[in-house]
Amino acid sequence: MPVAEARQRTDPRRLVRRISVRLRGGRAADLWIGALFLVLAWWLYKDLWADLDRAYLVNGGQDQNMWEWFFDATADAVRNFRDPLVSDLQNHPLGVNMMANTAMLGLGIPLTPVTLLFGPTTTWALVLTGGLAGSAFAWYRLLARRLVRATPAAVLGGALCGFAPPIVSHANAHPNFVVLFVIPPIIERLIRLWQDERPIRDGVVLGLLIAFQIFIGEEPLLFAAVGLMVFGTVYAMNAPDAARAAARPLGTGLLIGAAVSMALVAYPLWVQFFGPQHYSTLEHESGNDLAAFTAYASDSLGGDRAGAAVLSEGTTEENAFFGWPLVILTLFLVAWLRRLAVARAAAITAAVAALLSLGLEIVVDHDDTGLPGPWRLVNDLPLFESILESRFTLVCVPAVAVLLALATDRVLDSARSVPEGREVPVRLIWAAVLTMALLPIAPTPLDVRDRQPVPKFFADGGWRPYVDNGSVVVVPLPNVGDATALHWQSVADLGFPLAEGYFVGPWGPDRIGVYGADYSPTSALLGRVAADGAVPEITEDQRREARANLAHWRADVVVLPEHRHRAELAATLTALLGPGRQVADVQVWDVRHLGGSAAR
């Protein structure tokens, strides 16, 4: 090979051009990029996938138990041709309003075969992993089609949308904030309507997509709607002629989309807001600490778990945490790209979302400034009163991704026109800038721990002789602090309903939404014993309350598994119900004569 030809083949400028051209290649490139996102998502959950029988996402609290129960109960309803919108398999006999909870029926129903064949943990892992990868890919495709020409720019934007710190934080426990791959197609249809392509067809598709998203997650849809309204308003103000031209097809498509989606979701939404176990509002008051925007999340390379904990409501609610370098870079990009209408709209959308996320009072590094937050303007509006305001920073993620994608596209485009010999340095400088801004927030694998062993009483079917048609009362009763019994119920193939549980349901005469059941006196009594280990003096009134509660729960059996205060709980139950008996590795009290089958 001639020396000149060898030098040409190894010339870094030619290599960069060759790589760029190859990355622009259509479907083959899409497959590789999708595979890249899938591998990254799997890597975050590799320890979960390594042992689906025992692995549990440790930073998600009791949410894995709850979500697996949602998927399992949905599959059970489909298998037995029951209504999946409600279930009495926990909080028996009142049940759970599945539409008023984040049950994700839009995925739980089609994934029923997976749940029935491989179990709800497989569905849980599949939804989380596929949600991260699918969302990143959907955003990549939108950016590549509608915003940038350079594939690397679209990949960068998609990766940030799919794996930004707020998303990875929710990836510990909240798949409804991870599975966002329907939002980009919704935006794509809105763009088509803006361009007056096929308003009727696009309106129908838009309605179908919105209906699907409602069955996946309503809160992200509300965030998207607010973000798109801000973005669209700002963009229209910068392009008034185009806005006037788009008004008719856009309005037509939106009306058709609303009609189609409402035809599909009207009854489920009626169940959600007016059906059994509906609630009026779910009160949250938790805005972002302003210092959280420049800090690093727990599950990131630059993260400090202890530092992040004091700036958030927990590992699953680290909704800002973009880090100083990315915040500074974003401000620089806003100034650099200010002449682009899309960039201005994205910047203002991110600013509005960030301000709303500060909540009712502005807090800076734990210091309450006394300044009212912009959230006060929307706090009392319908739907907004049930939202955790700090989550509004999720809207900032795609807005920042748009700015990064636009800037990267400009750099790659301008690098082609720079003088000979300076092309590669320009790109390398930009790559170094991106590395400094994004490497500290790059996600790390999520922590798992081993689940505690399932009692043989449940795993081996020892419960069957003690359950006719009534519920099982696991002591202490499952709640937001410990919902392990939901997993045991799944292992027993949902062969019995549970008293109380972990879900969102109504409390009090105003039907305020709370996590868990409206605790009964007996449940509260047993909960106190489980917490402090002190055996109370049981009165005759408490015995009557226990019998009344068992009758309300339609209980067949009370089960006491291993517990650090098992002796004290056993003594309390004996004082309430009389002596129990040891069966396998649990103690049981057969109460069918008190509150179970005999009471119906």
What CA–CA distance (Å, rounded) separates 596 from 551? 6
* Pairing status of strand 555-560 against strand 471-474: parallel
Structure tokens at 186: 């919704």
- Identity of residue 228: L
Yes or no: say if 272 and 347 are a contact pair by the CB < 8 Å rule.
Answer: no
Distance CA 315, CA 298 (A): 7
Q: What is the pLDDT of residues 460-503, one digit of tens each?
A: 999 999 999 999 999 999 999 999 999 999 999 999 999 999 99
pLDDT by residue (tens digit) across 377-390?
A: 888 888 888 889 99
User: Mean of the pLDDT values across residues 306-323?
Assistant: 91
The pLDDT of residue 15 is above 70: no
Q: What is the mean pLDDT of residues 242-268?
A: 96
Q: For 502-548, how does the pLDDT look when each residue is reduced to its tens digit (9 = 90+)?
A: 999 999 888 999 999 988 999 999 999 999 999 999 999 999 999 99
Determine the pLDDT at residue 252.
Answer: 95
- Which residue has tokens 């309300």? 552
H or E segment to which residue 249 belongs:
helix 240-274
Does a cis peptide bond (omega within 30 degrees of 0) precede residue 93?
Answer: yes
**543-563 pLDDT, tens digit each:** 999 999 999 999 999 999 999
